Amino acid sequence: MTRYFHSVRLDQEKCKGCTNCIKRCPTEAIRVSAGKARIMEERCVDCGECIRICPNKAKLAVTDPMDLLSAFDYSVALPAPSFMGQFKTGTNPAQVAGALVLAGFDDVFEVSAAADVVTAAILDYLDSHPQPRPVISSACPAVVRLVQVKYAALVENIIPVLAPMEVAARIAKRRAFERGITGRVGAFFITPCPAKVTASKQPVGVTDSSVDGIVSMNECFALIRPLIEKAEPLTDYPRGSRSGVGWGRAGGEMQAVGVNSLAVDGIHNVITVLNEVERGRLGDLDFIEAQACVGGCVGGCLTVENPFVSRIRVRKLAESSDPRPFSTSGKLDVFRYTRRVTPRLALSLDTDLSQAIAKMNHLEATEARLPGLDCGSCGSPSCRALAEDIVNNRAYETDCIFKLRERVHQLAEEMVDLASKVPPAMAPREIPSSRKDDAE
Amino acid sequence: METADKVGANVADRLVNPEDTSLCMKFHIRGMDFASGGEASARIRGVCVQLGLPASVTRRVAIVTYEAEMNIVIHAIRGTLQATITPEQVEIEAVDQGPGIPDIDRAMEEGFSTAPPSVREMGFGAGMGLPNIKAHSDALTIESVVGVGTRVHSVILVGQ
């Protein structure tokens, strides 16, 4: 079985087993057992919903430490467009880039510049591939993984174009090479979310990621905020255009691509749109921007600022950015996937269809006996999920507190009944007529 | 934990039960109930995913059941949607009490629709329902009696 890397992890110490996360997970990947949440790794898409909802901060995103910079001779920071949204409107982006250099990076490459290249690569792909439609953006790694887990038939609709993070790393490294930098060059993405971490450690569509390290946006923010005032503005580094910067907020990607398209944000909303795509109802669209976080990347769970505030900031920054898109020499098809995207089949009850049907019959019958309150006290996200866990021998019917109570009640009644029985030596007893018949 | 172990054993017992080699789900659909329209087909789709049916089969079942369900919502008074799944095929049957289809050949033409304007304004009734069902079925039977109702029977082969 494939092993999955996940950025989203559990802090055993902090988890109280409260079941808040299990109900929020879009792929029903979490169960609480023995008082701790457990993530089913083949189902997890690293969307970060559980990190957001956990009242005890027991869910965390594993990122790389800043110390990793020292493993490279030359390091390039790749700030996502959402990163700029963390700073007050009016903050000079060149000043932020300068602060990144003060913090230890050798150069900066704005991911929004790569977003310009990706926009062109998407249009190039749409032009040469009339089918399938609509294509689904591959920019949000959590959405790509959601499709793999829940929408096996739609993996072919994922546009096989690299995400801006990956393209940024590649161009940044080439740029370093062209500038005569020797030694090990490291590309470091400043991430708003755990999904991007997973995308670099276990990429989809390519064998290896060009991103060498991923630092958390909130850690990086804390590090460079005090440095901005004293930083020298960085000059001559690649920056994104108006439309490239816009990618940092929901709707920006759709606006940049500009074809007949739709934009959806928030993973539960994305699911409703993917249902429509699967039903074939959106075949008149060319392109779908789908982002797991509400508000787009500014809504990532590793950001600092309120996403509605940073969304406006990104929009204002985009408006003041260069209208001409950043472009790179050479053909655009080098930024396409080199490996096919395959479904994950993490939700099936059994690998054998007959067995799966038998289990499904059992599941439906079991679910019918459960109270249907979806309370989560059993540790499964819904009564149906508990029925599924029972069928797969991961749980017992008495894990349901209502079923348990029913059983205790029955037992108590039997005990009362037994207690009322008197030994025949002590009292005369009535033998039921049917028993008399039996004796004859 | 002794009782709990017994529960596990019962699961294994049921799996060899030959009665269980097919799975049948039946849903009641109300005409004009757009609020719940699509729920039955979504449920059937979810079951297909959990059964691990080939992705293309799941997709075709999703389309056929959704269109059949919405046909009942749009045109009929009430009806039922039933899916029977075996390792070989998925059989979908939609039976409704409604106006019936006067000319089935015509209804099979892309873009032909008798849906009222109010329904079209909601984005439905584009005249693609039956053509879509046909395009995604391996076998299709449509029977209809005007003023009584319609029965749509579709078969999707798993091995295809």
What pLDDT, on the 0 to 100 scale, is given for residue B6? Answer: 32
For A24-51, what is the mean pLDDT?
Answer: 95
What pLDDT, on the 0 to 100 scale, is given for residue B13? Answer: 39
What pLDDT, on the 0 to 100 scale, is given for residue A438? Answer: 53
For A350, the closest of B52, B59, B62 (CB atoms) is B52
Confidence check: pLDDT of B43 > 80: yes
What pLDDT, on the 0 to 100 scale, is given for residue A437? Answer: 53
What pLDDT, on the 0 to 100 scale, is given for residue B128? Answer: 78
Q: Is A357 on the interface with B (CB under 8 A)?
A: yes
For B14, the closest of A154, A350, A358 (CB atoms) is A358
For A271, which residue in chain B has the nearest alpha carbon? Answer: B42
- By DSSP bridging, strand A74-79 and strand A107-108 are parallel
A222, A208, A128: which is closest to A169 by C-alpha?
A: A208
**Unique residue bearing structure tokens 């990956």:** A166
User: CA angle B12-A400-A51, nearest 5°?
Assistant: 105
A357, B20 in Cβ contact below 8 A? yes
Beta bridge partners of A213: A188
Give chain A positions within 8 Å (CB) of B51: 348-349, 353, 356-357, 360
User: Which two three-digit tokens encode residue A90?
Assistant: 């009016």
Q: Is A420 on the interface with B (CB under 8 A)?
A: no
For A417-436, what is the mean pLDDT?
Answer: 74
Give chain B positions within 8 Å (CB) of A361: 14, 20, 23
- Tell me which residues of chain B, numbers 60 to 99, contact chain A at a CB-CB cutoff of 8 Å: 62-63, 66-67, 85-87
User: Helices B39-51 and A267-278, interaxial angle, to 10°?
Assistant: 90
A397/B11 touch (CB, cutoff 8 Å), yes or no:
no
A357/B47 touch (CB, cutoff 8 Å), yes or no:
no
What is the C-alpha to C-alpha distance for residues A424 and A431, in angstroms, rounded to an integer? 11
What is the C-alpha to C-alpha distance for residues A250 and A12, in angstroms, rounded to an integer? 34
Confidence of residue B9 (pLDDT cuts 50, 70, 90): very low
Instruction: Specify the amino acid at residue B154.
Output: S
Give chain A positions within 8 Å (CB) of B41: 279
pLDDT (tens digit per residue) in B99-151: 999 999 988 888 888 888 877 777 777 777 899 999 999 999 999 999 999 99
Confidence check: pLDDT of A291 > 50: yes
A46, A15, A19, A51: which is closest to A32 by C-alpha?
A: A19
Q: Is B113 on the interface with A (CB under 8 A)?
A: no
Confidence of residue A435 (pLDDT cuts 50, 70, 90): low
For A24-50, what is the mean pLDDT?
Answer: 95
For A298-313, what is the mean pLDDT?
Answer: 96
Give chain B positions within 8 Å (CB) of A152: 49, 55, 58
Beta bridge partners of A431: none
Confidence check: pLDDT of A18 > 70: yes
Confidence check: pLDDT of B64 > 70: yes
pLDDT (tens digit per residue) in A137-156: 999 999 999 999 999 999 99
Confidence of residue A29 (pLDDT cuts 50, 70, 90): very high
A353/B87 touch (CB, cutoff 8 Å), yes or no:
yes
Q: Is A411 on the interface with B (CB under 8 A)?
A: no
pLDDT (tens digit per residue) in A338-379: 999 999 989 999 999 999 999 999 999 999 999 999 999 999
Confidence of residue A423 (pLDDT cuts 50, 70, 90): confident
Nearest-Cα distance to chain A for B141, in Å, is 21
What is the C-alpha to C-alpha distance for residues A289 and A264, in angstroms, rounded to an integer? 6
User: Which two three-digit tokens encode residue A88?
Assistant: 């007050």
Question: ipTM of the predicted structure?
Answer: 0.83
Confidence check: pLDDT of A281 > 90: no
B20/A348 touch (CB, cutoff 8 Å), yes or no:
no
For A398, the closest of B4, B20, B50 (CB atoms) is B4
A396, A380, A404, A388: which is closest to A19 by C-alpha?
A: A380
What is the C-alpha to C-alpha distance for residues A305 and A282, in angstroms, rounded to an integer? 34
A357/B86 touch (CB, cutoff 8 Å), yes or no:
yes
For A357, the closest of B7, B51, B59 (CB atoms) is B51
What pLDDT, on the 0 to 100 scale, is given for residue B121? Answer: 77
Cβ atoms < 10 Å from Cβ of A397: 20
